[in-house]
Structure 1
Amino acid sequence: MGLRVHRSISWIGRAEAALDDHDARFLYLWIAFNAAYADERELQGIAAGERASFTGYFSRLVGLDTDHRIYHAVWESFSGPIRMLMKNRYIFNPFWQHHNGIDGFEDWEERFRSSARSFRHCLQRRDSARILSFVFDRLYVLRNQLVHGGSTWNSSVNRDQVRDGAAILGFLMPVFVDVMMDNPHEDWGRPFYPVVE
């Protein structure tokens, strides 16, 4: 847990030095997220899928967050930006699958509406872990756009989701790390690339 937290904090610190560069800040914060949550056991074996990993991690964090910091972030600090992310088709994976001509995604609009209904249901139930899973699903598409060259640095197109994504990650990552540090005896999994001498 110490190595995982140390790495995550180092990237959070780097992101804080990039406040004026939303693209870089988002990427640094995503690295911090990977350092905090990624479990080598899942990636070395048969992977459960990225979203399944997110959901398990978020459920643990929310369950251990006795001060309800995550809940307050979701419901008070970022409810507007989160809702805007969920309404944005440009960070919805089936939209891009269809747009890129991949069979089986002709119904992306229905999937988008279904996702919105499921999200609203989670809002009504105040299910913070599932809401985080939905949000990070969208942020993962944004991450892919940036990392895989599907976006222009500092472009005037689609800036809102990069800015809001960076702000959401910038608030949540220190909270996630704090919850982990408050629970050092939990099994947070083996970090990727441990220090080897």
Structure 2
Amino acid sequence: MGLRVHRAISWIGRAEACDGDDDARFIFLWIAFNAAYADEREFQSIPQGERAAFLDYFGRLTALDSERRIYKAVWQRFSGPVRLLLENRYVFNPFWQHHNGIDGFADWEDRFKASARSFAQAFQAGDSARVLSFVFDRLYVLRNQLVHGGATWNSGVNRAQVRDGAAILAFLVPVFVDLMMENPAVDWGRPFYPVVA
């Protein structure tokens, strides 16, 4: 856990130095998030998948979050940016599947509406793990757009989701790290890249 936290904090610090560069800030914060949650299981021959790994990690975090810091952050501080992110079709994976001609996604608009209803139900029920799952599904699409070259650096198009995504990560990832540090006895998984001298 110490190595995970150390690495995550180092990337959070690097992200804080990105004044005015939301693309870089988002990417560095995503690296911090990866440092905190990624488990060696993801690198084994049959990985469990990003979504399952997120949900497992979020479940552990929210179970330990007795003060409901995560829920309060999403509800009080970022309800606007989170809502806008979830209403943005450009960070909804089935939208891109459809526009890339992949069969089975012609109903992306119905899926988009269903996702919005499911998010609202999770939010009203106070199910922080599911709420985070919805938020990070969208952030993962944004991450893919940036990391895989599907966006132009500092573009004038679709800036709001990058700015809001970076702001959401900048607030949540340190909360995740704090919860991990407050619960060092929990099995947070083994980093796949240990320090080898």
Report TM bin, short chain.
over 0.9
The aligned residue for residue 81 of structure 1 is 81
Identity within the alignment, % = 75
RMSD (Å) for aligned C-alpha atoms: 0.9
Mapped contact 2:41–2:48 kept (Cα < 8 A)? no
The aligned residue for residue 47 of structure 1 is 47
Using the TM superposition, give the Cα deviation of residue 65 of structure 1 relative to its aligned residue in structure 2, in angstroms: 1.4
The aligned residue for residue 16 of structure 2 is 16
Using the TM superposition, give the Cα deviation of residue 41 of structure 1 relative to its aligned residue in structure 2, in angstroms: 2.0
SS of match in other structure, 1:102: coil
Q: In 1, Cα distance between the equivalents of 2:48 and 2:119?
A: 22
Mapped contact 2:58–2:133 kept (Cα < 8 A)? yes
Q: For residues 23-102 of structure 1, what are the structure 2 equivalents within 5 Å?
A: 23-102=23-102
Using the TM superposition, give the Cα deviation of residue 124 of structure 1 relative to its aligned residue in structure 2, in angstroms: 1.6
Using the TM superposition, give the Cα deviation of residue 43 of structure 1 relative to its aligned residue in structure 2, in angstroms: 2.9
Superimposed CA distance per residue, residues 118-157 of structure 1 (whole angstroms, 9 cap, x where no aligned partner): 1111122121110000000000000000001110001110
Using the TM superposition, give the Cα deviation of residue 192 of structure 1 relative to its aligned residue in structure 2, in angstroms: 2.5
Superimposed CA distance per residue, residues 83-128 of structure 1 (whole angstroms, 9 cap, x where no aligned partner): 1000000000000001011111111111111111111111221211
Across the two proteins, how many residue pairs are aligned to each other?
197
Q: In 2, Cα distance between the equivalents of 1:53 and 1:62?
A: 14
The aligned residue for residue 185 of structure 2 is 185
SS of match in other structure, 1:105: coil
Mapped contact 2:85–2:138 kept (Cα < 8 A)? yes
Q: In 1, Cα distance between the equivalents of 2:92 and 2:178?
A: 30
Using the TM superposition, give the Cα deviation of residue 72 of structure 1 relative to its aligned residue in structure 2, in angstroms: 1.2
Q: In 1, Cα distance between the equivalents of 2:104 and 2:18?
A: 40
Q: In 2, Cα distance between the equivalents of 1:86 and 1:119?
A: 8
Deviates more, 1:9-18 or 1:61-70: 61-70
Which runs of no fewer than 5 residues in structure 1 stay unpaired?
none
After the TM superposition, which segments of 4 or more aligned residues of structure 1 sit over 2 Å from their partners? Answer: none
Which runs of no fewer than 5 residues in structure 2 stay unpaired?
none
